[in-house]
């Protein structure tokens, strides 16, 4: 394998628009369409986050597909992302240009290894303050916070618990309403 061959954002823009792609560390991945249950979990969580962010005028919530350009060789489409009020300037006409404050990835069999590996490291390097990994099969949400060495898992919430987050001190989400 030629390690000098890296896909860039310019290459990404030339790809057919009828499929979803991501570039992580210059490697191109096709992202399959999520199953309906994944979309239900995503919708429920995005709805709760959106209501909270809007009610408190905290910034903006976006959901996939929405391009997040972290570098010329890192273009991702997180399931849900949040950009705080003070950083709204990273929202451009065509993409999010920089690290969101929160990224939420909802696992699927095709994405779990990448979401827990390369993408988790990428988000930490880019400066994403919180990273949530939602496992629809186990009905859990892991909340990771960024420190000087990378992500530290703050908590693992199961479907019968109430999710809380340092990024949103007044937010409490009953996971029974999500799964």
Both tokens of 66, joined, read 């929405």
What is the C-alpha separation between 158 and 134, in angstroms, rounded?
Answer: 10
- pLDDT for residue 24: 96
Residue 2 predicted with pLDDT over 60: no
- pLDDT for residue 3: 58
Segment 145-172 shows an average pLDDT of 97
Segment 123-151 shows an average pLDDT of 98
Residue 1 predicted with pLDDT over 70: no
- pLDDT for residue 172: 98
State pLDDT tens for residues 34-75.
Answer: 999 999 999 999 999 999 999 999 999 999 999 999 999 999
Segment 14-36 shows an average pLDDT of 94
Buried b (16+ CB within 10 A) or exposed e, 14-28: eeeeeebbbbbebbe
Segment 93-103 shows an average pLDDT of 98
Mean pLDDT over the full length of the chain: 96
pTM for the structure as a whole = 0.95
State pLDDT tens for residues 104-115.
Answer: 999 999 899 999
Name which of 83, 73, 96, 65 is nearest 24 in CA terms. 73
- pLDDT for residue 46: 98
Label residue 93 by pLDDT band (50, 70, 90).
very high
Angle at CA of residue 79, ends 164 and 128, nearest 5°: 60
- pLDDT for residue 5: 86
């Amino acid at each position: 394998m030629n390690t000098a061959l890296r896909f860039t954002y310019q290459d990404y823009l030339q790809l057919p628009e009828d499929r979803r792609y991501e570039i992580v560390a210059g490697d191109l991945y096709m992202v399959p369409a999520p199953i309906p249950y994944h979309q239900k979990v995503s919708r429920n969580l995005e709805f709760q986050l959106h209501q909270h962010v809007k009610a408190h005028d905290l910034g903006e919530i976006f959901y996939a597909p929405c391009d997040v350009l972290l570098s010329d060789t890192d273009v991702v489409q997180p399931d849900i992302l949040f950009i705080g009020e003070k950083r709204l300037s990273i929202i451009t006409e065509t993409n999010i240009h920089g690290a969101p404050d929160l990224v939420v990835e909802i696992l699927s069999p095709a994405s779990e290894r990448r979401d827990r590996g390369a993408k988790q490291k990428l988000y930490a390097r880019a400066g994403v303050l919180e990273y949530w990994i939602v496992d629809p099969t186990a009905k859990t949400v892991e909340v990771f916070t960024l420190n000087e060495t990378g992500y530290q898992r703050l908590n693992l919430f199961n479907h019968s618990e109430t999710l809380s987050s340092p990024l949103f001190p007044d937010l409490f989400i009953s996971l029974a309403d999500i799964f």
